[in-house]
Structure 1
Amino acid sequence: MKLWLAALCLALAGGSAQAGCGADPEPCRLADGEYHALLPKAGGQGAPVVLWLHGAGSNGGNAVRNAALMEALTGRGYAVLAPTGSRQFGERGASWNFLPGWEGRDETDFLRRAVADASARFGTDAKSVLLAGFSAGGFMVTYLACTAPETFAAYAPVSGGFWRPLPDGCAGPVRLFQTHGWADRTVPLEGRVLRSGEFEQGDIFQGMELWRQANGCAGQDPTAYGETGIFWRRKWEDCAAGSALELALFPGGHTVPEGWVDMVLDWFESLEIP
């Protein structure tokens, strides 16, 4: 765990560049943004994709400098696309335009075009895409999955969910795996108030209720419980065809924990995706 956290801290702080646009040291550029691309050893042709969204104050370049996370993903044969959010956060950082009513770049459209661009450049599989993200990236994953679940094959927010007021409902069905730290103080499970009430993070469990409704699950209580390493897992199976819903908690704080990659990719690969 300590090595994993050290790698994550190094990534957020800077470190030496490890990726750009495949073999090109510069990021892949679109008219309204950029993304970094890491390919597996076998190359990009036909490779499934993890579209990874950074946290607030970071960017795509920092994201791919997290060697532990990136090597775990590419080692499973996945191409990693790490775009940079469109909203400025801090002096040199970025975040995502996820809250309804905010003006600016249509992130859903941008991320869709980034996936299409990577497919044209590297031959990656534009249909086998897992959209995942940490913290503010997890917020972006959550809102995109809620409003446009058909955009990507599945969704995996880490340490991020909805903000209050929560949406009245979400489109569905959706394939979603929520992961959160039991001791997270940056994005507590119950949410918290920021900027003297200007913003208020939502309750992760209330968000799970929205996902159950979107997936037409027959009951509130999980149909299966399990453990994978440090993770405590809850699964809903009595839901609409084509949907998938799980929650995993771990005894830690605001981080991407060691073991998350294999757990979530095992889940993703078990899904029946048209």
Structure 2
Amino acid sequence: MKYLLCLIALCWAIPAYAAQRDACHLDAPCALGDRSYHVREPDDWDGESPMPVLIHFHGWQRTGALPVQHQRISGATRRRGVLLIAPNGNRKTWNMWSSETEDVQFAADVLADVIRRYPVDTDNIYLSGYSYGSIMAWRVACDRGTEMKVRALLGISGTIGQSENCAQAPQEARHVHGLKDNVLDFPYGPHGEITYPVFLWRDHLDCTDTATQVRDWSAVEFLTLSRTEWRDCENGTKVALDVHPGGHFIPHGWIARQLDELLGREPVYP
């Protein structure tokens, strides 16, 4: 009888767990108090296996409904077994210029809610964002990166100040920025250093000054990216900076390549 009752309880629990997931997907946001976030599951997910998670913060005057449909964002996650989470900012923006804002707590609450709804590979939690959303991702990594077990920060065309004194950090930081960005200007160093956009993480993760210039790469023929890596940071972590000659946009294949590298896959596009 005891085993029968356990089986009945399990049968009730599984549909309830699945119902929580089915209640929100793509354009239908998941409610979290008076806030919400969007979800896109990866293609061919079996409904049970733990998934890596990418939390991506949208740009100014956008919502989380855009990233879950965006080819350069969800097109990368859904092909790589990664669960995409796209929170909605209040008034379509983020409060990210100072530490421990309500949006930082919201990001932590979103992750906790996702873990309640889905089986999550907690060794592979990534933060990303574009433009103002990238600044938000940097802010969350700065304030809660350790607490949220952030494996890597993937920033795109937006940073917090490089002199910030961060309480926490991601395990690894990767950033991409266009040299001709006229929305959030490329953050050159005091003497025009092109590597300055990741100075904060190089300092926080105790990287040496030894930089490795990696071979240029591209996912599409009209855009070439140049990568610099710092590979001798504390605990064997890494900081990487990709620079391209363009402006303010998400480079084709950039998120896809970062995920492939982080997950130990051969980089492909898309």
- For Structure 1 versus Structure 2, the TM-score category normalised by the shorter chain is 0.7 to 0.9
- Select the residue among 145, 168, 187 that pairs with 2:141: 145
Does structure 1 conserve the Cα–Cα contact (< 8 Å) formed by 2:99 and 2:139? Answer: no
Greater Cα offset, 237-246 or 67-76: 67-76
Give 1:266 shift: 2.3
What is the CA distance between 1:108 and its match in structure 2?
Answer: 2.6
| Contact 2:35–2:88 (8 Å) recurs in 1 | yes
Over the aligned positions, Cα root-mean-square deviation in angstroms equals 2.7
Contact 2:37 2:87 in 1 (8 A): yes
Larger Rg: 2
Gapped regions of structure 1 (runs ≥ 5): 1-18, 89-93, 192-202
Contact 2:104–2:143 (8 Å) recurs in 1: no
Q: Give the match for residue 98 of structure 1.
A: 96
Query: Is residue 61 of structure 1 aligned with residue 65 of structure 2?
Result: yes
User: Is residue 2:224 matched to residue 1:213?
Assistant: no
Residue matched to 2:126: 130
Aligned to 1:249: 243
Q: In percent, how many aligned pairs have the same letter?
A: 27
Instruction: Give the counterpart letter for 2:30 in structure 1.
Output: C
State the shift of 1:121 in Å. Answer: 1.7
Tell me the equivalent position of 1:226.
215
**Equivalent residue for 2:157?**
159
Are the aligned partners of 1:21 and 1:38 in contact in 2 as well (CA < 8 Å)?
no
- Is structure 2 residue 254 aligned with structure 1 residue 260? yes
1:71 equivalent in structure 2: 75
Task: State the AA in 1 paired with 2:206.
Answer: G
**Correspondences of 1:188-199 after superposition (within 5 Å):** 188-190=185-187
- Of residues 128-137 and 139-148 in structure 1, the stretch that sits farther from structure 2 once superposed is 139-148
Once the two structures are TM-superposed, the CA of residue 39 in structure 1 deviates from its matched residue by 0.4
For residues 75 and 138 of structure 2, the distance between their equivalents in structure 1, rounded to whole angstroms, comes to 25
Question: May I ask how many residue pairs the two structures share in their alignment?
Answer: 231
Q: Matched residues in 2 for 1:54 and 1:62: separation?
A: 7
Q: Which runs of 4+ in 1 moved over 3 A?
A: 168-174, 203-207
Unaligned runs of 5+ in 2: 1-21, 219-223, 266-270
Normalising by structure 2, what TM-score? 0.76
CA separation of 1:210/1:181 partners in 2, compared to 1, >3 Å: closer, same or farther?
same
- In 2, the alpha carbon distance for the partners of 1:82 and 1:20 equals 16
Letter in 1 for 2:258: V
Moved more, 144-153 or 76-85: 144-153
Which amino acid letter does the alignment assign opposite residue 29 of structure 2? P
What is the TM-score normalised by the length of structure 1?
0.75
